[in-house]
């Protein structure tokens, strides 16, 4: 199907598409518009292709449903992450002593250093998945590599990051482990 025919089909189904997007988005008009826009972009950019195995409208509605499900999943995970941050911040504010705050800050510093020590592609894919909430296929697209290559970088990166963190003693929460962790963190003149 060529570009003009595709656009024509999309225009003919626009009203029904919006209605279906509303159903898939729990009647949230803003979310439905965002999903529909994402669907149109997927289709027009060729990330979703009509292969003729089903009717155009059937195929289009399945793309809308999958895109809405992805949007719900991202929204849910974002909400969990934000709730976790709020709960963690409240707990830290109530419970953490100053030395604990410094310790956790140093652990985050070690983690960032371990991530920076990874090869570029491995660090990129881990950051895209963990910090930017992208799927592996979306990360592959961002990185301009195949999904297989992104999966390989992801698995190798996780394994190497795990090894680097284990060597640093970050996961050893015993008193001796904390001492080793704190000793492994180079002190700046201002910090100690």
151 in the same domain as 109: yes
Same domain, 46 and 11: yes
Confirm whether 89 is domain-assigned.
no
| CATH number of the domain bearing residue 15 | 1.10.1740.10
pLDDT band at 94 (very low <50, low <70, confident <90, very high): low
Count CA atoms within 13 Å of residue 69 on its CB side: 6
pLDDT of residue 117: 87
As a whole number of Å, the end-to-end CA separation of the chain is 67
Q: Of 60, 75, 90, which closes a domain? A: 75
| 90 falls within a domain | no
Q: What are phi and psi of 188, to 5 degrees?
A: -90, 165
Where is average pLDDT lowest: 59-63, 91-95, 160-164? 91-95
The answer to whether position 30 is within a domain reads yes
Is residue 145, in this structure, part of any structural domain at all? yes
Residue 192 lies in a domain: no
Shared domain for 104 and 167, answered yes or no, is: yes
Could you give the C-alpha distances from 25 to 38, 80, 102, 133, 135, in angstroms and in order? Answer: 13, 19, 43, 20, 20
Q: Cβ(161)–Cβ(119) under 8 Å? A: no
Asked whether residue 8 falls in the same domain as residue 64, the answer is yes
Per-residue pLDDT at 165 exceeds 60:
yes
* Residue 152, domain member (yes or no): yes
pLDDT > 90 fraction of the chain, expressed in percent and rounded: 18
151 assigned to some structural domain: yes
CATH number at residue 119: 1.10.10.10
Alpha carbon 32 to chain centroid, angstroms:
21
Higher pLDDT among residues 33 and 181, named by residue = 33
- Of the three residues 75, 106, 127, the one that is the final residue of a domain is 75
Tens digit of each residue's pLDDT (9 = 90 or more) over 39-77: 999 988 888 888 888 788 888 888 998 999 889 888 888
Average pLDDT over residues 108-130: 83
pLDDT digits (tens, 9 = 90+) for 131-160: 777 788 888 887 888 999 999 999 999 999
- At 36 the pLDDT is 94
How many structural domains does the chain have? 2
pLDDT for 182 equals 54
Residue 108 falls inside a structural domain: yes
Are 115 and 150 contained in the same domain? Answer: yes
| Mean of all residue pLDDT scores within the chain | 80
Q: Are residues 103 and 139 in the same domain?
A: yes
Alpha-carbon distances, residue 75 vs 70, 83, 182 (angstroms): 9, 12, 37
Domain span at residue 128? Answer: 98-184
């Amino acid at each position: 199907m060529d570009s003009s025919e595709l656009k024509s089909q999309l225009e003919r189904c626009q009203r029904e598409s919006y209605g279906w997007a509303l159903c898939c988005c729990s009647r949230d008009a803003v979310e439905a518009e965002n999903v529909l826009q994402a669907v149109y972009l997927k289709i027009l950019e060729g990330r979703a292709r009509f292969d003729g195995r089903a009717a155009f409208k059937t195929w289009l509605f399945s793309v809308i449903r999958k895109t809405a499900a992805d949007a719900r999943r991202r929204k849910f995970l974002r909400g969990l992450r934000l709730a976790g941050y709020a709960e963690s911040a409240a707990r830290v504010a109530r419970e953490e002593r100053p030395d604990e705050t410094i310790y956790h800050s140093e652990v985050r510093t070690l983690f960032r250093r371990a991530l920076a020590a990874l090869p570029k592609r491995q660090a990129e894919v881990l950051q895209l998945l963990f910090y930017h909430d992208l799927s592996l296929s979306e990360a592959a697209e961002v990185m301009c590599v195949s999904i297989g290559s992104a999966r390989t970088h992801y698995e190798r990166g996780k394994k190497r990051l795990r090894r680097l963190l284990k060597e640093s003693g970050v996961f050893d929460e015993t008193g001796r482990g904390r001492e080793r962790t704190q000793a492994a963190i180079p002190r700046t003149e201002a910090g100690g």
